[in-house]
Structure 1
Amino acid sequence: MKRLFDLLIVFLAAVFLLVPIVFVALLVRITSVGPALYWSKRVGRGNRIFTMPKFRSMRVGTPAVATHLLDNPEEYLTQIGSFLRKSSLDELPQLWSILKGDMSFVGPRPALFNQQDLIDLRTEAGVHVLLPGLTGWAQINGRDELPIGQKVAFDVEYLNRRSLTFDIYIIYTTAARVIRRSGVAH
């Protein structure tokens, strides 16, 4: 049922977001050197590594670490990088990962391949059995501001409460937070 829901939303989103996706891709290419997409190694279901696309908001050559681990993240942002992140437009290419089945609309946000502390905590808590999501319970309860332990606690809560109704609530709340641009540090 969840996979059908994901596919339905992807196709509906693709119809409405095709023009903005093309526009953002062009903007990224025009305003910075390098490709429009950044393919990030992420940890998926069962701790399997997959590549997840995002619109590139950081300069080419930025270290592949979580943004909060950079000494001065702002110095790595492209001209429109901050806007892409605050508006969550950088996340639009992840529709591809949902279509492929590497991700779902709702689930724990996929960890970077080198975030071993997060990967270990999720594995220990049993969260690694879930498909990662474009958004999730932890996302709407703090996004970039949550410490790893708290993020995993929200992921466990999602694991225990997951249902179509809960997913719809998370998607609705995500949309409201994106519109208000709340919870984004960079």
Structure 2
Amino acid sequence: MKRFIDITLAVISVVFFMPLMAIAVISILISDRGPIFYKQIRVGLHGKEFHLFKFRTMCVDADKVGPYFTASGDKRITRIGKFLRKTSIDELPQILNVIKGDMSIVGPRPNVPQQKQYYSDFDWQLRHSVRPGITGLAQSTLRSLATEEERLNLDLSYVKNNSILGDFKIIVMTVKQVFFKGGN
């Protein structure tokens, strides 16, 4: 049932957000040379790695000149990238990951493989017993303000208590975060 809901919401989202995604593509092309999309290896269901898609918000080869994470005021982020991140528009290409089956609309955000070192083996396996999501409990409540420990606790809480109704609540909370609390 969850997969059916994911596909349905993803297809509706593609249609709904197509004009916004077209504007993002044009803005990236005008403001900065280089690819429109950024793809990164992430860890999905049962530890299977996949390529996560985003609109590129950083300078070309940013991952070669800095860490896998960004910090406040990161100089690698482009001008248009700041806006795309603040509004979470950079995440819209992940709808394709949902359609492909790599991700769900709701679930823990997918980790990069390097983050495994921060988990016990049990927590890592538990966290990856569900598909990662475009949004999750941590993103809908604390956004980027969550510490690693808070994010882990919220992700594990989601895995242990996930439900269709809970997913719809997280979607509503995420919309409130993005539109009424200033985005990311």
Q: TM-score, normalised by structure 1?
A: 0.90
CA distance in 2, matches of 1:172, 1:182: 15
- Partner in structure 2 of residue 170 of structure 1: 170
C-alpha distance after superposition, 1:88-127 (max 9, x if no partner): 0000000000000000000000112322334x34x52211
Question: How many residues end up aligned between the 2 structures?
Answer: 179
- Partner in structure 2 of residue 53 of structure 1: 53
C-alpha displacement of 1:25 = 0.9
- Partner in structure 2 of residue 124 of structure 1: 122
C-alpha distance after superposition, 1:102-160 (max 9, x if no partner): 00000000112322334x34x52211111000000011221222221221111111112
In the alignment, is residue 15 of structure 1 matched against residue 18 of structure 2? no
- Given that 1:144 and 1:183 are in contact with CA atoms closer than 8 Å, whether structure 2 keeps it comes out as no
Q: TM-score, normalised by structure 2?
A: 0.91
Runs of 4+ displaced beyond 6 Å: none
Gaps of 5+ in 2: none
Of 64, 69, 87, 1:66 maps to: 69
C-alpha displacement of 1:28 = 0.7
- Given that 2:127 and 2:159 are in contact with CA atoms closer than 8 Å, whether structure 1 keeps it comes out as yes
Superposition RMSD on alpha carbons, in Å?
1.6
In the alignment, is residue 154 of structure 1 matched against residue 157 of structure 2? no
CA distance 1:73–1:62, shift in 2 (3 Å): farther
- Given that 1:105 and 1:134 are in contact with CA atoms closer than 8 Å, whether structure 2 keeps it comes out as yes
- Given that 2:140 and 2:171 are in contact with CA atoms closer than 8 Å, whether structure 1 keeps it comes out as no
C-alpha displacement of 1:181 = 4.8
C-alpha displacement of 1:168 = 0.3
